[in-house]
Amino acid sequence: WSPSEGYSKGFTSALYPVILAVGYAVGFREHWIMLFAHMVNCSAVAGGMYFLYRLMSAYVGRVPAAVGTFLWPFSGIMIIGTVSGMETGLATGGFAIFIWLTSTLIRRRQAPVPFSWFTLVGAMLPLLRPEMLLALGVAWIFSTAYARSGWAYAFLSGILIVAPFGIVLLMNYVMT
C-alpha cells in the first residue's frame, strides 16, 4: 500500500501464500513463519542445485558443473530473494528442475505427456511467479519440436500447464 495509490492485490504469487499457510497450520507462528519460509526456499534451492548439476555435467563436465552449481545460490538475486522470505528460492529451484526435465525430453526426443513431472512442475511454476509462463512456453515449444511423435499429448500437457494459471487469473478478475 502506498498513500495516493491505494492498496495492491499483491498478485505475484498465488501458490506461495498457500504453502506458507501450511507452515502456519503446523505451528510456525509469528516470526517463526520466516523460518518455515527459509526452510521451503533452501530446500527448493538445494533440489534445484542437484538437478542443475545433473544438467550441466552432461554438457560441460563434472568439475565446471560443480563450480557453477555451487556459485548459483550465491548470486545477488538468489541471496536477496531467498533470505527475504519471498518465493524466489522456490521458484528458481523449481525452474532448475523444470529445465532439467525439458532437457531430458529433448535428449530422448519425447513429447511432454499430460500427467508427468514436466506437466506438474510446469503447472506450479506460473502459480509461484507469473512471469515463468513465458519461459515455460519456450521450454514446451522446444521439447515438443524435438519430439518424434506424441504431439497430441504435448498439446494436452500444454493446456494442463496453463489451465491452473488461467483459473487463478479468472478468480482474481472476478474477486477484485
**pLDDT of amino acid 64:** 95
pLDDT digits (tens, 9 = 90+) for 108-132: 888 888 889 999 999 999 999 888 8
Q: By the 8 A CB rule, do 99 and 50 touch?
A: no
C-alpha cell at 125: 511454476
Residue ranges in the chain whose pLDDT is less than 70: 1-11
User: Helix, strand or coil for residue 2?
Assistant: strand
Residues 6+ apart with CB under 8 A from 44: 89, 90, 91, 92, 93, 94
